[in-house]
Chains A and B, each alone.
Chain A
Amino acid sequence: MGARIAEDVATGVRSATEVVRGALEAIHRQNADLGAFLQVFDEHATRRGAEIDAMRAGGQSLGPLAGVPVAVKDNMALDHGRTTCSSRFLEHYESPYTATAVQRLIDAGAVIVGKTSLDEFAMGSSCERCAFGGARNPHDLDRVPGGSSGGSAAAVAAEMVPIALGSDTGGSIRQPAAFCGAVGLKPTYGRVSRYGLVAFASSLDQIGPITHSVRDAALTLNAIAGLDPQDSTSADVAVEDFGAQLGDGVDGVRIALIGSCLSDDNHPAVNEAVCAGAATLESAGATIVEAELPHLSYAIDAYYVVAPAEASSNLARFDGVRYGRRADISPTAGEGLVDLYERSRSEGFGDEVQRRIILGTYVLSAGYYDAYYARALKTRRLIKQDFDRLFERGTGGPEVDAVLLPTTPGPAFRRGAIADPVEMYLQDIYTVAANMAGLPAISMPTSSVDIEGSALPIGVQLIGDVFEEAKLLRVAAALEG
């Protein structure tokens, strides 16, 4: 869809102005119901579309995403509009610069049409924990779109835009993609610069695309991947054409099917989707290997120590001094800087963010560090070693090319249905391992299940080895049918 638009704009079949107008109309027609967008840049996007048309008319070369409307999760900096992270703390914050990944999309010709809703500071799995109203699932407005990149997934699923950027710390691209019936790709840790991404958990965060097709995911990754001197964690690894292998099929590819993930606790449609995915890949020439990741079930526990610990540190920057919300204090009553910090943070952060800051501070505090944080980091190594054993060549192991497992335990749940934090955290049970190990992973919409009159999408997940996105996308393409 995005690739087709870029081709049409480049060849003059459609103008960028016409494409952008169509996207803006689709957004304004549906956004009151969906709440996918927090901001829409009508004027800016229209002007940008006209600029691209003028470039074409002037004979200038156009980028690979010329004229493609793209939505950006509102935790990425953009030098116009606001960057709110769905938080009262940053309600009026205007970034003076643009995130590298977003700038690279703009440089490739994409037109940023707006910023999408998310759980506050990307902490959530339902897009309900938002200071400015959450997004809803286009397949059933009474259900959540998933989170935290719920607005981006809803915007793509409702065909407001063909491509959106999300960020994924523990599943925040893949889970909403699965709930909304979109393709969601979390690249390898370090593949995409996080410069300008408001940090949640720095050893886990990664930016990636949510799209309608594997081809569009590859096209987007082509644009945003690569070394960035502004991000010391961005990897100095060659950027290939991630779509180059899409037509190569999966003949000879080895896929690990993780049997323990086909749990009775999953919705039956999830297990059926994973088995059907394995059958599809096998009939296309892949070899399915039954395998286990012995420490996978512990990933969720380790994650909910590591991620809040890092968040508690990262969010220390929001102190009411340099930018964002500042609470009123009363110097005449003896209130000073500490009161300003405490009041600003307590007024600015929502309940879930405060819960995670407290949890993170607790597991890092004296007396608990070794019991929780150090143990979680050691478990993290065991999880990574499990994957290494599956992927490694020449060691007598299974030597697989990708791992197949569910994205979520079930389809999208009803808004307000999950109030218990532990139950909400368990929504991420199949997605966090890829973040803990730094591996690329993709959720593919392969089926749906009819529940109470709604056809709810089901996603299956593929995890690949580090920096093997091209192969991962090739396998994913075989699931597109």
Chain B
Amino acid sequence: MIARMASSEIAGVPGPSAEDVQRVASLARLDLSERAATALAHDLAAILGHVNRLTELDVAGVEPMTSPIEPGNRWADGETPGPTLPAETVSALAPAAEGPFIAVAKVLGDGPGA
């Protein structure tokens, strides 16, 4: 039952490269070192190599199942908003605040990171 996988079984399966991992990390807003990206590329190749067993199954015509609750989540009743947190509670949670506002880094500007 346990589908164990020797490393040789995935040797021939092309996994994501370190560059692929860096691209995905950028999408996920993670700052990876080259070394970390290389290690993660290896891990992902192993994991996806195992996941590739799913190609053994004929899933033609099978409806994807996104949730155990079907047809889906329950909608909120009516249009009255529920209780919310006071603004001062929310701003107190923030790493930096100015008065009733959450302080963030400059969003608009001239630098590449702005």
A interface with B by C-beta (< 8 Å): 93-94, 96-97, 189-190, 203, 229-230, 232-233, 235-236, 260-263, 265-266, 295-298, 300-302, 304-305, 312, 316, 319-326, 329, 331, 334-343, 345-346, 349, 354-355, 357-359, 361-362, 365, 372, 374-382, 384, 409, 420-422, 425-426, 429, 437-438, 466
Contact A321 B93 (CB under 8 A): no
Known A323-B95, A409-B2, A422-B46; contact A379-B28, beta-carbon cutoff 8 A:
no
CA distance A140 to B94 in the complex (A): 42
Check A336/B73 contact, CB under 8 A, given A301-B54, A362-B44, A372-B51.
no
Q: Is the CB of A233 within 8 A of B73?
A: yes
Distance to closest chain B CB from A226 (angstroms): 14
The distance from the CB of A229 to the nearest CB of chain B, in whole angstroms, is: 7
> Within 8 Å CB of B25, what residues of A?
358, 361
Given contacts A337-B113, A342-B29, A376-B51, 13 further A-B contacts (CB under 8 A): A94-B93, A233-B67, A236-B74, A301-B51, A321-B95, A331-B106, A358-B21, A358-B28, A361-B28, A374-B64, A375-B55, A384-B68, A429-B1
Task: Decide yes or no whether B32 CB sits under 8 A from chain A.
Answer: yes
The count of residues in chain B whose C-beta lies closer than 8 Å to any C-beta of chain A is 62
Q: Are A304 and B47 in contact (CB under 8 A)?
A: yes
Given contacts A305-B51, A362-B44, contact A232 B64 (CB under 8 A): no
Q: Are A377 and B29 in contact (CB under 8 A)?
A: no
Distance of A143 from chain B, by nearest CB (Å): 20
Given A334-B112, A358-B21: A382 in contact with B57 (beta carbons within 8 A): yes
B113 touches A339 (CB 8 A): yes
Q: Is the interface of A mostly helix, strand, loop or mixed?
A: helix
CB-defined contacts of B57 to chain A, threshold 8 Å: 295, 298, 375, 378-379, 382
Beta-carbon contact of A372 and B47 below 8 Å: no
User: Contact at B16–A362, with CB atoms within 8 Å?
Assistant: yes
A96 near B1 (CB under 8 angstroms)? no
Residues of B within 8 A of A316 (CB): 28-29
Tell me, rounded to whole Å, the shortest Cβ–Cβ distance linking B40 to chain A.
6
Chain A residues, Cβ within 8 Å of B3? 297, 300-301, 426, 429
**Which listed residue (B5, B29, B82, B113) contacts A319, Cβ 8 A?**
B29
Task: Looking at the assembled complex, report how far the CB atom of A300 sits from the nearest CB atom of chain B, in whole angstroms.
Answer: 7
B111 interface contact, C-beta 8 A = yes
CB-CB nearest 4 A-B residue pairs:
A438-B68, A336-B113, A377-B64, A326-B95
- Closest chain A CB from B66 CB (angstroms): 6
The complex places the Cα of A111 from the Cα of B82 at a distance, in Å, of 28
